[in-house]
């Protein structure tokens, strides 16, 4: 460009002009660039800011201790890892997190494997329905299980209405009501459907010929399972293991509801306490630790998948395994599977619903039933309006729809745009960058990401105004967090559409927008709907991501239910959770209708 | 605007200089002018603003005052109940982002107010001139609008007419392990204010120990106050975000081993409505903490005049009634009465049995006290 030779400068200008006109004709490149800029800011900036927060003095501390706002300090790293309180705020929570994750994962994995084997490969009764019904716990917000547990088992240790068992005269001991045991069980029951789905799909992909060969050679069913099928499931098992651990580490609601009364702190609740007490340097450090654990787990997962890839045999051209006859075990296994469904899916619904209909827990007299908690103007004993008359709940309901809805819409469109740019610009730097960066948020637990957003958008930076306290912050953080799923599905959806239809359009003189609206959009209609409904469902039941970011006026249904719990209004919290459950169920049904398949398997978030 | 522009000053320049001088002068006197408004002028200015946003320590702002204020002045009050740590965070965030939402705060964290918010100019201290003569000087800077006793309470159905403990030190005994319910000090600064005040009055704590147990207290910490805090933390107290839950835990009827708790005395008003059996614990050496609540206008408030009017209103009998008309609070406006349900008619009548913290001491010690608490809690 700085060549003194004027001829070469001219050619350069001409070639630039040609490039520019190409750009205008084919804005893929432009879209790619714009996406790169937007995503760099939305994804990388929070990560940078959280790292810088962990080593710079906060404004609050600067004010109190007289230092300079933002000056370099080891104070927070020290506080988390080595100070006199490090044990309380980090090491014990870390130990507890590991314990709980271990047991929760173990239970979830076992349940998932057993149930998947039963449903896919045996003649258990009602297997057709179980395939869908066992996924229901996954659709409920994570606090549903925990509050249902609390409604059932709580004792006089903490205040609020009596637990159901207690009202029957049975006082559950503390270890059953609060702490590691209920947390592990509730997390396991919330997350086993995930294991169930992965194992089911792995089992149905195993080449049936392997089994046929074995049985031709006279191998018994038992031998086929222990020597062929289970070893082939090892990679899936590892994936389930790592992903479930990652998930349990990031879960906030369960330990908050069931751990707090017993002062059983996990990393997620310790992080939240630090947020509540304005200790933002410590928040940054713990968030980084959580992200690093997430990153580590993901790397191990990738490594395992690579290492085992050579053993994966995907063949089975649609030949379904003949369900093996269970004989005398048919009834016991059937009962087992249905009991799991009862406990994990139906149970919480019944407990939550009952608690909102009974004025006094445990009193089954007809007169004790009523709709006071739903439609009452002033609920007896609470000095609070019922759910449908409470302005707070109405606002939260509106906000939930508005925020999750807009986030889903943006996320779906952005996902397809990224897919478009990645697929249409193959081999370019932009394509690779977009692919990687849109996946980055996957590594950070919701709480850590929210902490980063909180610090990044609290004040105005350059052209971006301070978003704290506005709905746009909540929408933004949801969009970015759900982007990994949206962009993955966007990329795979775009892969399926070759460039030919568009090229044909171009030949016929159709401009870019015309091509998009008349060729691409109709082709991708159902992909778009899926890409919108899935984040919507996740957004409706989101808690850990938003619990630190909501402000009065931007409360969502999930955070409102936590507020109710804080005040001991258990019934109102339960009713709020039921509303979320119903909205999510309806969305899933719509999704199933649109796609005509069981899309519960796509519920990645 | 140089005066020596080529050594010559034109007429227009002089005029513009004088004008800008007077313009600056009016800017300078702007706040003074608004301070000197008559009440009617203030009402008119407030009504022009139409609404006012508050963060308040008590839900009664939203539940009671808002409706009465709107009915009287036609100004809408948006009230959010908030704990002080969250309020602090929000005030600082809003003021430093320039996106100020809140106008008036009812705020419990005096130490932070005195050492940070006021010196940094993040809040404006407004003492309604129409009432100033009735507010004691030591409650004016910064303005305290309400004194609320946070008391040790017990369940009178379980334990009858007298509290099961005589000395605070009994709360550190094994018998009361897991049976003392209190605010989480990480969230409610009142608890840190209480700990600091206990340090200030260590001698009384030590004396009470000797009186109750008949032997000297073995102090392994810097003072008897810290010793108490440590033993309390180690005795597994149950922590809450909201004192509503503490009151319910303590006062629910039908308990055989009801806990003891610390909560605002105002909860006693709910005994009848919520079928609770809360009673004041006559315990030595302190029956609780007298918590001042400050009222401040946030810097850059979008509705400053409505905020001033509301500040005035809650210091009048009508506006203060939701608090002072029932048990549990005393207005800083000495001309207002208090509810006959209070155990004592005025804050002074408690005769020092309520702890009052010193903001400077709390500010100095709070970080250490917080870590001390976290370190020793089980």
Q: Is residue A467's pLDDT more than 90?
A: no
Please give the interface size between A and B, counted as residue pairs whose CB atoms are below 8 Å apart: 103
Phi, psi of A134 (to 5 degrees): -75, -10
- What is the band of A372 on the pLDDT scale with cuts at 50, 70, 90? confident
Residue that wins the pLDDT comparison between A64 and A220: A220
Q: Do A276 and B245 touch (CB under 8 A)?
A: no
Q: Is residue A52's pLDDT more than 50?
A: yes
Phi, psi of A153 (to 5 degrees): -105, 0
Nearest to A453 by CA among A482, A426, A475: A475
- Whether the CB of B80 is below 8 Å from some CB of chain A: the reply is yes
B253 shares its domain with B283: yes
| In contact, A158 and A142? CB cutoff 8 Å | no
Distance of CA B291 to the CA centre of its chain: 6
User: With contacts defined as CB-CB under 8 Å, which chain B residues touch A273?
Assistant: 186
B96 to chain A: closest CA residue: A459
Here the tokens at position A328 are 């005398």
Q: Which of A452-456, B179-183, B322-326, B366-370 has the lowest mean pLDDT?
A: A452-456
* Those residues with Cβ within 8 angstroms of residue A335's Cβ, 6 or more apart along the chain or in another chain: none
Here the tokens at position A513 are 């927008």
Per-residue confidence (pLDDT) for residue B14, from 0 to 100: 61
Name the pairing type of β-strands B180-183 and B238-240.
Answer: parallel
Phi, psi of B229 (to 5 degrees): -60, -45
Per-residue confidence (pLDDT) for residue A6, from 0 to 100: 61
Nearest to B57 by CA among B323, B365, B268: B323
| In contact, B185 and B191? CB cutoff 8 Å | yes
- Whether the CB of B370 is below 8 Å from some CB of chain A: the reply is yes
B28 shares its domain with B160: no
A61 to chain B: closest CA residue: B367
Interface test with B, best of A159, A162, A392, A553 (most B CBs within 10 A): A159
**Within a 13 Å sphere around the CA of A485, how many CA atoms are in the beta-carbon half?**
24
Residue B344 burial (10 A CB sphere; 0-12, 13-18, 19+): middle
Distance CA B311, CA B123 (A): 14
- What is the band of A99 on the pLDDT scale with cuts at 50, 70, 90? very high
Q: Is residue A23's pLDDT more than 80?
A: no
Indicate whether B303 belongs to any domain. yes
Q: Is residue B95's pLDDT more than 80?
A: yes
Here the tokens at position A131 are 């395939």
Averaging pLDDT over each range in A270-279, A414-423, A501-510, B81-90, which range is the top one? A414-423
- Whether the CB of B125 is below 8 Å from some CB of chain A: the reply is no
Indicate whether B5 belongs to any domain. no
Distance CA A534, CA A485 (A): 9
Q: Which residues of A266-275 are buried (b: 16+ CB within 10 A; e: fewer)?
A: bbbbbbbbbb
Mean pLDDT in residue range A284-289: 91
Here the tokens at position A224 are 């086929």
Judged by phi (left if over 0) then psi (alpha if -120 to 50, else beta), residue B160 lies in left
Distance CA A378, CA B63 (A): 13
Q: What percent of chain A has pLDDT over 90?
A: 20
Here the tokens at position B164 are 């099961």
- What is the band of A215 on the pLDDT scale with cuts at 50, 70, 90? confident
Per-residue confidence (pLDDT) for residue A377, from 0 to 100: 75
Here the tokens at position A440 are 């980055």
Distance CA A605, CA A442 (A): 10
Distances, alpha carbon A283 to alpha carbons A169, A273, B226, in Å: 43, 9, 27
Per-residue confidence (pLDDT) for residue A28, from 0 to 100: 80
Residue B45 burial (10 A CB sphere; 0-12, 13-18, 19+): middle
User: With contacts defined as CB-CB under 8 Å, which chain B residues touch A276?
Assistant: 85-86, 186-187
The position carrying tokens 């006094």 is: A360
Q: Do A552 and B80 touch (CB under 8 A)?
A: yes
Indicate whether B65 belongs to any domain. yes
For chain B, positions 139-178, list CB contacts with chain A under 8 A: 178
- What is the band of A600 on the pLDDT scale with cuts at 50, 70, 90? very low
Q: Do B99 and A465 touch (CB under 8 A)?
A: yes
Q: How far is B260 from chain A (nearest CA, A)?
A: 12
B272 shares its domain with B320: no
Per-residue confidence (pLDDT) for residue A2, from 0 to 100: 47
Interface test with A, best of B238, B266, B367 (most A CBs within 10 A): B238
B243 to chain A: closest CA residue: A567
- Whether the CB of B45 is below 8 Å from some CB of chain A: the reply is no
Which alpha helices (H) appear in chain B, and where do they start and end? 11-35, 39-49, 60, 66-73, 84-97, 110-112, 156-159, 189-200, 202-213, 224-234, 243-251, 270-273, 304-313, 317-324, 359-376
Whether the bond between B4 and the residue before it is cis, its omega within 30 degrees of 0, is no
- Whether the CB of B34 is below 8 Å from some CB of chain A: the reply is no
Q: Do A460 and B248 touch (CB under 8 A)?
A: no
B221 shares its domain with B103: no
Q: Do A159 and B239 touch (CB under 8 A)?
A: no
| In contact, B125 and B299? CB cutoff 8 Å | no
B164 shares its domain with B244: yes
- Whether the CB of B239 is below 8 Å from some CB of chain A: the reply is yes
B55 to chain A: closest CA residue: A552
B271 to chain A: closest CA residue: A381
User: With contacts defined as CB-CB under 8 Å, which chain B residues touch A453?
Assistant: none
Distance CA A478, CA A408 (A): 8
Q: Is residue A316's pLDDT more than 70?
A: no
Residue B96 burial (10 A CB sphere; 0-12, 13-18, 19+): middle
Q: Is residue B288's pLDDT more than 60?
A: yes
Per-residue confidence (pLDDT) for residue B30, from 0 to 100: 46
Per-residue confidence (pLDDT) for residue B260, from 0 to 100: 95
B56 to chain A: closest CA residue: A552
B20 shares its domain with B72: yes
**Within a 13 Å sphere around the CA of A424, how many CA atoms are in the beta-carbon half?**
23
Q: Do A458 and B97 touch (CB under 8 A)?
A: yes
Distances, alpha carbon A56 to alpha carbons A256, A290, B198, in Å: 29, 19, 33
Q: Where are the beta strands (DSSP E) in A254-307?
A: none
Give the residue numbers spanning the domain of B334. 11-146+293-344
Residue that wins the pLDDT comparison between B132 and A520: B132
Write out B53-85 in H/E/C secondary structure.
Answer: EEEECCCHHHHHHHHHHHHHHCCEEEEEECCHH
By Cβ distance, the residue of B241, B255, B270 closest to A156 is: B255
Distance CA A397, CA A399 (A): 5
Q: How far is A443 from chain B (nearest CA, A)?
A: 28
User: With contacts defined as CB-CB under 8 Å, which chain B residues touch A363?
Assistant: none
Distance CA B317, CA B339 (A): 12
Q: Is residue B230's pLDDT more than 90?
A: yes
Q: How far is B352 from chain A (nearest CA, A)?
A: 30
Distance of CA B169 to the CA centre of its chain: 26
Distance CA B274, CA A525 (A): 55
Each residue's pLDDT tens digit, B193-224: 999 999 999 999 999 999 999 999 999 999 99
Distance CA B288, CA B268 (A): 14
Distance CA A298, CA A293 (A): 9
The position carrying tokens 């006109």 is: A21
B242 shares its domain with B217: yes
Q: How far is A466 from chain B (nearest CA, A)?
A: 6
Q: How far is B98 from chain A (nearest CA, A)?
A: 8
Q: How far is A85 from chain B (nearest CA, A)?
A: 5
Interface test with B, best of A154, A277, A465 (most B CBs within 10 A): A277
Averaging pLDDT over each range in A312-316, A320-324, B349-353, which range is the top one? B349-353
Torsion of CA B233, B235, B238, B239, to 10 degrees: 0
Distance of CA A47 to the CA centre of its chain: 19
B84 shares its domain with B193: no
Q: Which of A28-42, A459-473, B352-366 has the lowest mean pLDDT?
A: A459-473
Distance CA A214, CA A208 (A): 10
Each residue's pLDDT tens digit, B1-44: 334 444 445 566 666 666 665 555 555 544 444 556 899 999 99
| In contact, A96 and A265? CB cutoff 8 Å | yes
B272 to chain A: closest CA residue: A381
Mean pLDDT in residue range A511-536: 81
Whether the bond between B142 and the residue before it is cis, its omega within 30 degrees of 0, is yes
Q: Do A466 and B98 touch (CB under 8 A)?
A: yes
For chain A, the residues whose C-beta falls within 8 A of a C-beta of chain B are 59-60, 63-65, 83-85, 88-89, 156-160, 260-261, 263, 273, 276-278, 381, 383, 458-460, 465-466, 468-469, 551-553, 566-568
Each residue's pLDDT tens digit, A576-599: 999 998 998 888 888 877 766 554
Indicate whether B118 belongs to any domain. yes
- What is the band of A81 on the pLDDT scale with cuts at 50, 70, 90? very high
User: With contacts defined as CB-CB under 8 Å, which chain A residues touch B187?
Assistant: 276-277
Distance CA A581, CA A577 (A): 6
Phi, psi of A369 (to 5 degrees): -85, 145
Q: How far is A367 from chain B (nearest CA, A)?
A: 20
Distances, alpha carbon B214 to alpha carbons A548, B206, B207, in Å: 50, 11, 10
Which alpha helices (H) appear in A122-266, and where do they start and end? 127-133, 136-139, 142-153, 164-167, 174-177, 180-205, 208-216, 221-224, 230-232, 234-250, 253-259
Q: Find the CATH number of the domain harbouring B366.
A: 3.40.190.10
Q: Do A88 and B249 touch (CB under 8 A)?
A: no
Q: Is residue B366's pLDDT more than 70?
A: yes
By Cβ distance, the residue of A59, A85, A156 closest to B96 is: A59
> How high does pLDDT run on average in chain B?
87
Number of domains in chain B: 2
Write out A449-515 in H/E/C secondary structure.
Answer: HHHHHHHHCCCCECCECCCCCCHHHHHHHHHHHHHHHHHHHHHHHHHCCCCHHHHHHHHCCCCHHHH
B156 shares its domain with B258: yes
A86 to chain B: closest CA residue: B375
Which alpha helices (H) appear in A122-162, and where do they start and end? 127-133, 136-139, 142-153
Per-residue confidence (pLDDT) for residue B159, from 0 to 100: 94
Indicate whether B370 belongs to any domain. yes
Q: What angle do CA A244, A185, A397 make, to 5 degrees?
A: 80
Per-residue confidence (pLDDT) for residue B316, from 0 to 100: 95
Q: Do A459 and B96 touch (CB under 8 A)?
A: yes
CATH 1.10.3720.10 fits A98-370, yes or no: yes
Q: Is residue B56's pLDDT more than 80?
A: yes
Distance CA A270, CA A250 (A): 12
Each residue's pLDDT tens digit, A332-353: 999 999 999 999 988 898 989 9
């Amino acid at each position: 460009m700085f060549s003194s030779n004027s001829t070469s400068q001219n050619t350069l200008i001409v070639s630039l002009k040609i490039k520019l006109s190409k750009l205008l004709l084919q804005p893929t490149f432009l879209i790619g660039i714009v996406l790169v800029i937007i995503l760099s800011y939305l994804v990388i900036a929070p990560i940078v800011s959280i790292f810088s927060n962990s080593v710079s003095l906060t404004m609050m501390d600067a004010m109190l201790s007289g230092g300079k706002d933002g000056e370099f300090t080891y104070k927070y790293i020290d506080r988390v890892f080595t100070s006199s309180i490090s044990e309380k705020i980090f090491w014990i929570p870390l130990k507890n997190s590991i314990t709980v994750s271990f047991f929760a994962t173990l239970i979830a994995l076992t349940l998932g494997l057993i149930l998947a084997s039963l449903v896919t490969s045996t003649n258990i009764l009602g297997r057709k329905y179980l395939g869908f019904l066992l996924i229901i716990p996954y659709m409920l917000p994570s606090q549903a299980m925990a509050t249902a547990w609390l409604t059932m088992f709580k004792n006089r240790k903490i205040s609020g209405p009596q637990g159901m068992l207690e009202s029957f005269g049975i006082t559950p001991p503390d270890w059953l009501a609060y702490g590691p045991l209920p947390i592990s069980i509730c997390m396991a029951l919330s997350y086993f459907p995930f294991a169930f789905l992965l194992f089911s799909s792995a089992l149905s992909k195993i080449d049936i010929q392997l089994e046929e060969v074995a049985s031709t050679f006279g191998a018994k069913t038992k031998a086929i399972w222990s020597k062929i099928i289970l070893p082939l499931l090892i990679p899936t098992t590892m994936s389930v293991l790592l992903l479930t651990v990652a998930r349990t580490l990031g879960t906030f609601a369960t330990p908050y509801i069931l751990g707090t009364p017993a002062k059983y702190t996990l990393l997620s609740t310790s992080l939240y306490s630090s947020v509540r007490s304005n200790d933002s340097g410590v928040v940054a450090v713990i968030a980084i630790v959580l992200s690093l654990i997430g990153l580590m787990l993901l790397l191990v997962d990738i490594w395992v998948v690579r290492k085992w890839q050579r053993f994966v045999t995907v063949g089975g051209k649609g030949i379904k395994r003949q369900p093996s006859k269970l004989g005398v075990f048919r009834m016991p296994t059937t009962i087992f599977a249905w009991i799991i469904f009862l406990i994990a899916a139906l149970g919480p619904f019944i407990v939550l619903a009952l608690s909102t209909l009974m004025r006094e827990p445990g009193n089954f007299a007809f007169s004790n039933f009523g709709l006071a908690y739903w439609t009452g103007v002033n609920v007896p004993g609470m000095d609070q309006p019922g759910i449908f008359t409470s302005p707070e709940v109405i606002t939260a309901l509106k906000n939930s729809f508005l925020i999750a809805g807009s986030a889903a819409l943006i996320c779906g469109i952005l996902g397809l745009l990224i897919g478009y740019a990645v697929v249409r610009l193959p081999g370019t730097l932009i394509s690779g960058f977009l692919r990687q960066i849109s996946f980055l948020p996957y590594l950070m637990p919701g709480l850590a990401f929210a902490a980063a957003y909180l610090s990044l958008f609290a004040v105005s930076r350059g052209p971006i105004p301070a978003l704290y306290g506005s709905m746009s912050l909540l929408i933004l953080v949801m969009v970015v967090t759900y982007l990994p799923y949206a962009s993955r599905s966007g990329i795979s959806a775009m892969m399926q559409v070759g460039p030919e239809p568009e090229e044909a359009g171009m030949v016929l003189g159709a401009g870019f927008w015309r091509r998009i609206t008349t060729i691409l959009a109709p082709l991708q209609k159902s992909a778009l709907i899926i890409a919108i409904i899935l984040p919507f469902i996740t957004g409706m039941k989101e808690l850990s991501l938003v619990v630190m970011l909501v402000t009065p006026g931007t409360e969502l249904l999930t955070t409102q239910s936590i507020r109710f719990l804080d005040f001991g209004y258990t019934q109102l919290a339960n009713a709020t959770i039921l509303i979320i459950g119903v909205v999510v169920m309806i969305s899933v049904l719509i999704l199933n209708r649109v796609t005509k398949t069981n899309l519960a398997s796509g519920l990645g978030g | 605007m140089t005066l020596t522009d080529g050594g010559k000053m034109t007429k227009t320049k002089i005029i513009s200089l004088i004008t800008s001088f007077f313009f600056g002068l009016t800017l300078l006197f702007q706040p003074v002018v608004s301070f000197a408004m008559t009440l009617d002028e203030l009402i008119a200015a407030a009504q022009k603003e139409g609404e006012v946003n508050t963060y308040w320590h008590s839900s009664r702002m939203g539940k009671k005052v808002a409706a009465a204020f709107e009915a009287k002045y036609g100004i809408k009050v948006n009230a959010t109940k908030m704990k002080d740590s969250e309020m602090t965070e929000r005030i600082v965030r809003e003021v430093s982002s320039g996106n100020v939402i809140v106008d008036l705060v009812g705020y419990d964290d005096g130490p932070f107010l005195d050492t940070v918010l006021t010196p940094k100019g993040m809040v404006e201290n407004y003492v309604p001139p129409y009432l100033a003569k009735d507010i004691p000087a030591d409650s004016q800077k910064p303005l305290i609008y309400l004194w609320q006793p946070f008391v040790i309470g017990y369940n009178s159905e379980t334990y009858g007419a007298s509290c099961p403990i005589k000395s605070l030190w009994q709360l550190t005994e094994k018998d009361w392990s897991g049976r003392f319910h209190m605010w989480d000090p990480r969230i409610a600064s009142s608890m840190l204010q209480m700990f600091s005040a206990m340090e200030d009055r260590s001698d009384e704590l030590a004396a009470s120990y000797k009186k109750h147990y008949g032997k000297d207290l073995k102090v392994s910490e810097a003072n008897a106050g810290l010793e108490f805090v440590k033993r309390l933390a180690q005795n597994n107290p149950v922590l809450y975000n909201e004192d509503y839950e503490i009151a319910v835990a303590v006062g629910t009827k039908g308990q055989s081993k009801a806990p003891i708790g610390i909560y605002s005395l105002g909860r006693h008003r709910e005994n009848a409505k919520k079928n609770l059996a809360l009673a004041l614990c006559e315990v030595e050496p302190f029956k609780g903490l007298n918590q001042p609540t400050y009222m401040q206008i946030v810097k850059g408030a979008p509705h400053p005049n409505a905020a001033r009017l509301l500040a005035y209103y809650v210091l009048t009998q009508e506006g203060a009634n939701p608090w002072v008309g029932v048990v549990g609070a005393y207005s800083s406006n000495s001309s207002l009465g208090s509810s006959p349900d209070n155990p004592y008619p005025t804050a002074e009548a408690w005769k020092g049995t309520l702890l009052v913290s010193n903001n400077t001491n709390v500010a100095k010690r709070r970080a250490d006290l917080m870590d001390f608490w976290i370190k020793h809690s089980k």
